[in-house]
Amino acid sequence: MIRELSGDEVALFGEYIDKTRAFFLSTNVRPKAYVHSYGCQQNVSDGEKIKGMLAEMGYDFTDTPDNVDLILLNTCAVRENAEDKVFGNIGAFKKLKESNRRLIIAVGGCMVQQQHIAEKLKASYPMVDIIFGTHTVHELPRMLYDKLTKNLGCVNIPDGDGVLTESIPVRRDNAIKAYVPIMYGCNNFCTYCVVPYVRGRERSRKADAVVSEVKELIQQGYKEILLLGQNVNSYGKEHGIGFAELLRRLDAIEGEYKISFMTSHPKDCTRELIDVIADSAHIEHHIHLPVQSGSDRILKAMNRSYTTEHYLGLVEYAKSRIPDLSLTTDIIVGFPGETYEDFRQTVKLMETVRYDMAYTFIYSKREGTKAADMDDPVSDKEKGLWMRELLEVQGDIGLENYRKYIGKILDVLCEGRDKNKPEYLTGHSRQNIIVRFAGGDELVGSFVKVKITKAMPWAVEGETVGDTD
């Protein structure tokens, strides 16, 4: 059931924020927190809410876990290696806890929403004080207050779908690009995926709430609005305003900005949506359209609810309506029962679609999902070889696609200095392609025209030819 926080709950939430801030003031402590979010942008967005609450409680933030009052890990469950990393990090915090009696360690997010993980943490990681799931983020102020004032730790992981709340403050990490979740949860139950189990059923924010948040962000000077949801294409079913209509309303907002979104599910991605993108002023000419596999047999076993024929039809229509469209995808290699012949069909599909970029993952068994019970006879070594083959093919395609931009002018949102080559600025084009170029810091946060001179497999390089206005 979809439920919004009641007035009383919102009041209680605010009360605990105030009480915790007062506690720190009374003890003359200016608390410091290290907050780390793993995984997808949805999780990063949750992390911004966590930081928003902590900031209101009086916390400052640092980039390292040394000498802090609070370490908070916001975890991811989508693949096993993400979980291994978290356990490794928590183990390493034991020493910090021994040398700093004030330190509170909190672990939240998708990974701990799984019962078996919460139990493992409770049994074997006594240095963790607060364990909270995806549905109790808004209860963090109370959990922290109880730990600080009564030394009460807790495990707070109720089942269900959680609440929708418009009341949590957000502390945005990026001054140019704002993450805006439009829906939470997922109803699809792809057989490999743990998300529906840890994030609950689909629930959408009201269109009016999204539109007013985006208007405000644009007024504040944000230049990119990234709309987030596990399956944005099924946005709004419960309110009668679908994703295409939401995009239309957002695109009508005046200003110089762009709108991007992720993730799209091919079964729900409509031609209407493609038309809205094609006719828009602000929406990126980029669709991240995870195909997962190019074999119909495997798509069926994954419960993806589309065929390669449907997918390719959609791609063809999108390319015809948006000639400079950039397509990216997710692919799982080595799903249980996948044969080399199935895998080759994925390679063939990639050669047909010609993605700019593919995010490729070796299948990772997730407890509680349907695929975890399927026979999986192919060895990890063999899957690794398939993965290498796929990466080589995609590398060549990406480079060929990017070479087509040489000599062309792209509109680029300049996001800052390139981390690896600080003599360059970097940003993304309207097609969401990474563009590197020389220029002064005054360009950061503005849209710049860049003439492309060089292509690499993951980005292009060029020279500025003046601002877009």
Between residue 315 and residue 334, which ones bind ligand 5AD under the rule CB under 6 A?
Answer: 330, 332
Question: Rounded distance, CA 141 to CA 33, Å?
Answer: 14
Question: Should residue 75 be labelled a site residue for ligand SF4 when binding is judged by CB under 6 A?
Answer: no
Residues 230-269 that bind ligand SF4 (CB under 6 A): 230-231, 265
Distance CA 4, CA 7 (A): 9
What angle separates helix 271-278 from helix 308-321, to the nearest 10 degrees?
20
Q: Does the footprint of ligand SF4 cover residue 198 (CB under 6 A)?
A: no
Residue 203 touches ligand SF4, criterion: CB under 6 A? no
Spatial separation of the C-alpha atoms in residues 137 and 162, rounded to whole Å: 9
| CA-wise closest residue to 404 among 346, 348, 323, 349 | 323
Burial class (CB in 10 A: 0-12, 13-18, 19+), 334: buried
- Laid out side by side, the sheet with 104-109 consists of 60-61, 32-37, 70-75, 104-109, 130-132, 154-156
Cis before 270 (ω within 30): no
Q: Binding to ligand SF4 by residue 359, rule CB under 6 A?
A: no
The 10-49 site mask, x for binding ligand 5AD (CB under 6 A), equals ----------------------------------------
**Under DSSP, is residue 314 helix (H, G, I), strand (E, B) or coil?**
helix
**372 contacts: CB under 8 Å, gap ≥ 6:** 365, 366
User: What is the smallest separation between the CB atom of 399 and ligand 5AD, expressed in angstroms?
Assistant: 23
Rg, C-alpha atoms of the chain? 23
User: Taking CA 416 as the corner, what is the angle to CA 411 and CA 417, rounded to the nearest 5 degrees?
Assistant: 115
The residues, ordered by sequence, that sit 6+ positions from 299 with a Cβ below 8 Å of its Cβ are 292, 293, 306, 307, 308
Does 292 bind ligand 5AD (CB under 6 A)? Our answer is yes
Nearer to ligand SF4, 52 or 196 (CB): 196
Tell me the closest approach of the beta carbon of residue 194 to ligand 5AD, in angstroms: 7
Task: Pick one of ligand 5AD, ligand SF4, none as the site partner of residue 366 (Cβ within 5 to 8 A by kind).
Answer: ligand 5AD
Residues between 71 and 100 that touch ligand 5AD (CB under 6 A): 78-79
Does position 366 interact with ligand 5AD (CB under 6 A)? The reply is: yes
Q: Which of residues 148-187 bind ligand SF4 (CB under 6 A)?
A: 186
In the complex, minimum distance from the CB of residue 161 to ligand SF4, in angstroms, rounded to a whole number: 14
| CB 199 to ligand 5AD: min, Å | 12
Residue 203: strand, helix, or coil:
strand
- The smaller minimum CB distance to ligand 5AD, of residues 113 and 429, is found at 113
Of residues 39, 100, 98, 97, the one with CA closest to residue 73: 39
Regarding 196 and contact with ligand SF4 (CB under 6 A), the answer is yes
Using rule CB under 6 A, residue 188 touches ligand SF4 = yes
CB of 209 to ligand 5AD, least distance (A): 26
Q: 199 vs 383, which CB is nearer to ligand SF4?
A: 199
Instruction: Write out the residues near ligand SF4 by the rule CB under 6 A.
Output: 186, 188-190, 193, 195-196, 230-231, 265
Q: Where along the sequence are the contacts to ligand 5AD (CB under 6 A)?
A: 78-79, 192-193, 290, 292, 330, 332, 361, 363-364, 366
